[in-house]
Structure 1
Amino acid sequence: MARLTAISGLGRKSAAIFLIEMSGRRVLFDLGDGLEPGDRPDLTGIGRVDAVVLSHAHEDHAGALDRLDEVGDPPVLATARTLGFLPERLRAGRARVLPERGRVDLMGLDLTLGRAGHAPGGVWLHVATPAGGLLYTGDICPEAPRLPVDPLPEAATLVLDASYGDREGRLADQIAAMARAAAAGAVLCCPAAGRGADMVAALAGAGLCVATDAVIGREVAAATGTLPEIVDAATARPDRAIVCVSSNAERGLAAELLGREGFRFVFSSHVPDGTPARRMLDAGQALWLPWNVHPTLPDLLALVRTTGARRVLPAFLDIATAPRLAEGLGARLWTHPETEI
C-alpha cells in the first residue's frame, strides 16, 4: 500500500511539503517555508524520512531545508540547476543530482521527472504506485517563454499547482501591459531563480532598454550567453526599466532603491503582509501587475485532461476562492490531506 500525506500546501497558499510512503520508504516532495511572516510549517508529525526531493529552489518549496535535522537529516535530491541556487551550507554532504528529464530509481521507487517551466531547473515528479501513479507538478507554467514544459504522464492522483485558481488572461497581454508601465522607467521586482531572464527578454522584445541587478544579470547570462547591463544603487537611473530581486523589495537592489526619488516600483508576485511591497501597494505608491508563472484556469483543466487523473488535489489554493475550478474538477476534486495512491 502507498500513501500520500499533504503536510502543508493543501487548502491555502503555503509551504509545499508532501510525504509519500511506499515500499518501506518515506520521501518528502519539497520542504518549503511559509510565505507570510512567521509562517513556518509544523514538521513535528513527519518523523524520519529517507530523502527530500525538490521540485525547484523557491522559498516556499525549499525554504525549510535549514530544518533537515527535524526529519532525520536525509539527503536532498534535485536537478543540478536547482541545487546551484541553494546555499552551500545546505548542499554540503547532502546533495544528490537528478536529471531534468528521465526515469530514475529512487531508493526502490520508480521516479520519472520532466521540466515544469516555472523556474530554471524546476521539474514535475511522477511515482509509479499500486493505484495508478502519483504526479506532483510542483510549480508549473505552460506559458514560460524560455522554460519548456515536458508532456505530463498519466496518473490516477494529481497534486496540481492551482495557485491562480480561477484566473484567466494570457502572458502575452500581461507582457504588453508591463512594457507600457515600464516605458518611462520602473523597478520590476521578481524572485531569484525564476522569471527574471524571461522578463528581461520579453521587455527587450517590446522595445525597452532593460538593465538588471547582478543576480538577474547572472541568470540572463546563463540562459542566453549574453550579459545584460548591470546596475547597482549608485548607477541605477529612475528612467530605466530595471529587473531585480527580490519579489517584494525585502532585500537586494530593490530594497536599496526604496524611498529614492523618482523610482517607481512594479510588483507581480504573491505579496505577503508586512513586506515593503504590501506597504507601498496599500499606500498607492506602487503598481501590481500580473505575470503568469502558474497555470491559469484553462491551463489547469487542460493539464487534468492530459493526465487522466481520477483524483486532483488543488495545491497552494483555498478551493473556496475558485468556484469555477471546483466545478470543472467535479468528482475528481480531492481535498483530504491523506489518500492512498
Structure 2
Amino acid sequence: MKLTVHGGIGEKGRTCVGIEHGGTRLLLDVGVDTSAQGTAYHPAITRAELERIDAIIVTHAHEDHVAALGWCLANGFSGRILMTAESVAETDATLAAYATPHERALAQAATAEIIAPGTDFVLGPITIRTGRSGHVVGGIWCHLCAGGRSLGYCGDVVPDSPVFAMDALPPSDLVLIDASYGADRIPAIERGAAIKGWLAAHPQGAVLPTPLSGRSVELIGLIEGPIAIHPSMREALAQQIAASTWLKPGAADALSARFAEALLWEEGQKLPRAALLVDDGMGLSGPSKAALAQARREKHPALLTGGIPKGSPADLMLAAGEADWLRFPTHPTLPENIAIAAASGAGRILAHSCDAATAALLATDIPKLVTGLKPGDTIEI
C-alpha cells in the first residue's frame, strides 16, 4: 500500500489521507482547515487525482474530517462515499456551516453507503475493518489490510471517554495516531474537575461554544449545575443520547435525565444563569456566533473547551482576556497515544491533526514516530 498526505499531517486541519493498492485508490476523510484561507482551506489534491479516487471513507462528521466532501464532488470525485448512518445524518449541518451552497447541494444529492462498525468490507484488494472511536456517536477508526501489510487510522479517538465507547484497534504495520492534543499529559479526570470548578466559580452562567456532536454530549454528562442549549441543537443531541450502542453502559440513562432539565436559549434573549452550550466553530458559525458576540458585549463569562481556530471570535476573546480556556479531553493525551502506539505493534507511526513542530516534540516520547511529512508527500506501507 502507498499512503499520500493530502492534509492533516505536518499541519492541523483538513485531515485527508490517500491510500492506493492494486489500482484501487481511496481517501480517508476530507476535511477543511477553518484557520486557513484560499487553497489551504481544502485538501491538497488535484482534480486529476480526485477523478481517479474510487471511494471516500469518512470517520465522523466534524468539519476537519468531512466538510470538503461537496468540494471533492465539485472537483472531479465521482466514486463511492462510505460512513456510518449517524455521520450521514450529521454531515449536512456541517456542510451548511463550512461549504458553499453548491458544494452542500452536491453532497445532499450524493448517496452514501452505510458502514456498520465491526463489520469487514472490501474496496478492490483492500480489506477494511472499523470500530467505535470513543469520540462521537457514529465516529469510527479504520484498519486497512492489503498485500500482507496493514494500516491503522485512528481518525479522532478518545480511549477513556466517560460517555462514548472505543473498540480496540487491531495490530498494524503503520498506525496514524490522533495528535490533536500534542504533548498534553493532563488526564481526563483532572480536566473535568477543573471545568466543574470554573463553572462553580461563575454562578451567573457562561457561554460554552462546542461542536454539536461529541463534546456537547460529554459536557452534558460532566456539568453539575444548570445547563442551557439552543433550540436548533435539541433534536441532534436527543438522537445522540438515544444511540446507546455507541455509549458506555448506563450512560444513556444519566444523559437523558440531565438533558431533560436543559433550558432553552435563542438569539435576542438574555443569556441564562446556566452553562450555555452553543455550536459551532468557536463563533465562526451556528448559534455560538451570536452567543459569543453577546457575551463579549455584556462582559458575560465564556469558557472555551476545545481547539480554537486562529482568528475566530473565540480566539480574539481569549487574546483579549474576555474568555477562559480549559481543554476538555475529546482527543488522546500523550500517555494515551503512547499506549495506542505500543498496542498497535507498528514499526512506524504517523501523527495527524498536529503541526510539524508538535510532531517533532512527540517523537521524543514515541520513538517510532516518523516526522517531516507534509501534504504532497508519500510513504510506502
Report the AA paired with residue 69 of structure 1. Answer: A
Instruction: Give the structure with the larger helix fraction.
Output: 2
Counterparts of 2:195 and 2:369, CA distance in 1: 36
Work out whether residues 100 and 115 of structure 1, in 8 Å CA contact, stay in contact via their aligned partners in 2: yes
Partner in structure 2 of residue 46 of structure 1: 49
How many angstroms does 1:117 deviate by? 1.1
Q: Distance in 1 between matches of 2:110 and 2:359?
A: 42
2:317 aligned with 1:277: no
| From 60, 78, 86, the counterpart of 1:56 | 60
- Give how far 1:37 is off: 3.7
- 1:267 equivalent in structure 2: 304
> Deviations 1:274-320 (Å, cap 9, x if unpaired)?
21111111111111111111111100000011110111011122343
> 1:14: Cα distance to partner?
2.4
Q: Pick from 351, 362, 367 the counterpart of residue 325 of structure 1.
A: 362
Structure 1 residue aligned with 2:162: 145
Q: Are residues 1:231 and 2:265 paired?
A: yes
C-alpha offsets along residues 237-269 of structure 1, whole Å, 9 cap, x if unaligned? 342111111241223332223235253211122
**Residues 238 and 231 of structure 1: CA distance in aligned 2, closer, same or farther (over 3 Å):** closer
Task: Give the aligned length.
Answer: 337
Q: How is 1:298-337 mapped onto 2 (pairs within 5 angstroms)?
A: 298-321=335-358, 325-336=362-373, 337=377
Helix, strand or coil for the counterpart of 2:308?
A: coil
> Which residue identity does 1:309 align to in structure 2?
A
CA offsets, 1:50-94, max 9 Å, x none? 111001111111111121232432221100001110127314333
Once the 2 structures are TM-superposed, how far is the Cα of residue 46 of structure 1 from its aligned partner? 2.7
How is 1:68-107 mapped onto 2 (pairs within 5 angstroms)?
A: 68-87=73-92, 89=105, 90-107=107-124
CA contact (8 A) 2:132 2:166 kept: yes
Give the alignment's Cα RMSD to 1 decimal: 2.0
3-state SS, counterpart of residue 330 of structure 1: coil
User: Alpha-carbon deviation of 1:198?
Assistant: 0.9
For the residue of structure 2 that corresponds to 1:128, the secondary structure is: strand
Change (3 A) 1:49 1:245: same
- Distance across 2 between alignment mates of 1:37 and 1:324: 23
Please say if residues 350 and 370 of structure 2, whose CA atoms lie closer than 8 Å, have aligned partners that are also in contact. Answer: yes
- What one-letter code is carried by the residue in structure 2 that aligns with 1:327? T
Partner of 1:176: 193
Equivalent-residue separation in structure 1 for 2:65 and 2:113 (angstroms): 17
Q: Which runs of 5+ in 2 are unaligned?
A: 93-103, 243-255
Alignment partner of 2:175: what SS?
Answer: strand
Q: Is the alpha carbon distance of 1:223 and 1:31 closer, same or farther for their aligned partners in structure 2, counting shifts above 3 Å?
A: closer
1:340 corresponds to which residue?
Answer: 380
Gap change, CA 1:273 and 1:104, over 3 Å in 2: same
TM-score by length of 2: 0.83
